[in-house]
Structure 1
Amino acid sequence: MDNQVSIGVDVGGTKIAVGVLYGEELRDFHTQPTPESGWPAVLDALAGQVRLMQQRHPQARAVGVGIPGPISQDRRRVKFAPNIYGFTDVPLVEGLYERLGVHVSLENDAKAAALAEATLGAARGSQSSVYVTVSTGIGSGIVIGGRLWRGQHGIAGELGHVVSVPGAAVSGAGQSGTLEAVASGTAIARDASFALNRDVTTAEAFALAQAGDRIAGRVVRGAMYRIGLALADLQKMLDPEVFVIGGGVAGVGPYFFEHVQAAADEGAEGFAAVQIRPAQLGAQAGVIGAAVSAQLEPTPVR
């Protein structure tokens, strides 16, 4: 990767981030709002950003796009993207080729971030790692030997959709009791608001818990406990060298990591120790991962 130059694009519900990766250095990073008028407008915006970067950095020929939600097995279409208006069954690779005349590598955003942290971030130097983002939802990705492990159908690593509390709340994917439904930032805000009988944000729930509020403490500790147990289960199934946790909820800092580590230690007692590290690349992880994916794991061309 040292001499390679690629463009990475990270598409979210509110913003599109883009940057150019020169070897291990991200340059020319900036963002713009995500259009809210349907997927053709989003593709037009993506194409415009890529075209601008190509003009500024003509040596950047590989282009990678990371996007939330599931993508097709051949990594050419987006099945649906949560929080992006009208983004269902979108032929993203074909659509950008029509607009740009270049092939684009497509990846799920959490898996792109997993690749970024394994290549240039907190899991750098490890042979196997699992990245987990705890934010509005819970996403994850598995990297083995420098490559993403996607599984037979491209869905490997969907930790947020694993059932944690059968019969509990229903997730945005329509599944009951998944880890995302009971331990994400959205779940914490929902449960804290119900328990305290007023609107409470995720950040406020953590602040109250750290200040000693008994009810908020129960809510956030319950979420962290479930996350830790889920990591312990993955340790017993996959035995990765390290776990990396990022996302807005993990941004709470030591309080979050101490409780998740304690739960993971409890769940993995008698097995291998669970090594957990905070993510290092922050909000740029998605862009970096998309750029790395374009270099190392381009979308197959038919």
Structure 2
Amino acid sequence: MSEQQEHVSEQIGGAARMSIGVDVGGTKIAVGVLVGDELQEFHTQPTPESGWAAVLDAIAGQVRQLQAKYPQARTVGLGIPGPITPDRKRVKFAPNIYGFTDVPVVEGLYERLGQHVSLENDAKAAALAEAELGAARASSSSVYITVSTGIGSGIVLNGRLWRGQHGIAGELGHVVSVPGGPISGAGQAGTLEAVASGTAIARDASYALNREVSTAEAFALAQSGDRIAGRVVRGAMQRIGLAIADLQKMLDPEVFVLGGGVASVGAYFFEHVQAAADEAAEGFAVPVIRPAQLGSHAGVIGAALSAVLEPA
């Protein structure tokens, strides 16, 4: 953590310092109030499926409810999947949220709330949370990767989020892993998300086993010795490990933090990913891979922190 962040974190820890975090996903909107290092009032609701205006209405409603109970929580941060514009005011597209393309999020929420809301990519927000309060807390550089419905990542270098020139740094899920492979939700062929996410594992396992198979069942079958399910999940884990090895060679971070629903499988997942990463990084540096510590709260905590530590 940088000296500036330590100073701001001390301010956050004050009794009067509060910030609201909102984490928007394809299936649910999660909100909470960060008081010091503690998350209060964690709530979720289904993400509306009738377009972006309904999503912003739902977000505004949640924020108003929290501010009615915590009137001092005037700082609000929002995390949304998908790339955002460099000025952090619009979402270019959110592949897993219906109708979320070129959305003026900051302007739209200002119209609804009468205040500025700090916008951040959800994986970058979670990366900040794990760097500040989670598995990478003692590290100055880290990469957070979430493997769930999709795959996202965030990069923290020298204690600060790295967004890149166009605000898209860390879009690991959209990096091509298998040229000519399946089409992703963003319309690209063979991206890591299209071949190694929870969605991809369920799709491939269902096809290979000729019946509907969930991601959780695919892993359970693989761990019980099913040969076909094993091939599917091991292929996905190998691709994630290869991506980590590539990032180790390019960025050389102190630690990788893996979270999300697929990573919650536990030791089986981490052992295979680590083995693939070690083999691909041989002769360079062994990637240090840790499980995320903040779980489903990481996005909300990160969004609340980003509004204070990384305000737009």
Quickly name the TM-score band, shorter chain normalised: over 0.9
The yes-or-no answer on 1:259 pairing with 2:272 is yes
Q: Secondary structure at the match of 1:233?
A: helix
Kept in 1: contact 2:95–2:186 (CA 8 A) = no
In structure 1, the residue matched to 2:31 is 18
Equivalent position amino acid for 1:238 in 2: L
Report percent identity of matched pairs: 83
In structure 2, the residue matched to 1:245 is 258
Shift of 1:208: 0.6
Shift of 1:177: 1.4
Matches within 5 A, 1:23-42: 23-42=36-55
Q: Secondary structure at the match of 2:60?
A: helix
Q: What is the CA–CA distance in structure 2 between the aligned matches of 1:40 and 1:53, rounded to whole Å?
A: 20
In structure 1, the residue matched to 2:183 is 170
Shift of 1:36: 2.3
Q: What is the CA–CA distance in structure 1 between the aligned matches of 2:178 and 2:55, rounded to whole Å?
A: 36
Q: 2:192 aligns with which of 173, 176, 179?
A: 179
Q: Secondary structure at the match of 1:175?
A: coil
Equivalent position amino acid for 1:268 in 2: A
* Runs of 5+ unmatched residues, structure 1: none
The yes-or-no answer on 1:138 pairing with 2:172 is no
Q: What is the CA–CA distance in structure 2 between the aligned matches of 1:30 and 1:287, rounded to whole Å?
A: 10
Shift of 1:77: 0.7
Matches within 5 A, 1:17-166: 17-166=30-179
1:85-105 CA-to-partner distances (Å, cap 9, x unmatched) read 222211110111111111110
TM-score, normalisation: structure 2 = 0.93
Q: What is the CA–CA distance in structure 2 between the aligned matches of 1:168 and 1:268, rounded to whole Å?
A: 24
Q: What is the CA–CA distance in structure 2 between the aligned matches of 1:100 and 1:170, rounded to whole Å?
A: 38
Give the number of aligned pairs. Answer: 299
Shift of 1:149: 0.2
The yes-or-no answer on 1:280 pairing with 2:293 is yes
Equivalent position amino acid for 2:297 in 1: Q
Q: What is the CA–CA distance in structure 2 between the aligned matches of 1:169 and 1:95, rounded to whole Å?
A: 34
1:39-90 CA-to-partner distances (Å, cap 9, x unmatched) read 2222121111111111211111210011111211211011222232222211
Q: What is the CA–CA distance in structure 2 between the aligned matches of 1:63 and 1:178, rounded to whole Å?
A: 32
Q: Secondary structure at the match of 2:66?
A: helix
Equivalent position amino acid for 1:212 in 2: G
Q: 2:216 aligns with which of 191, 198, 203?
A: 203
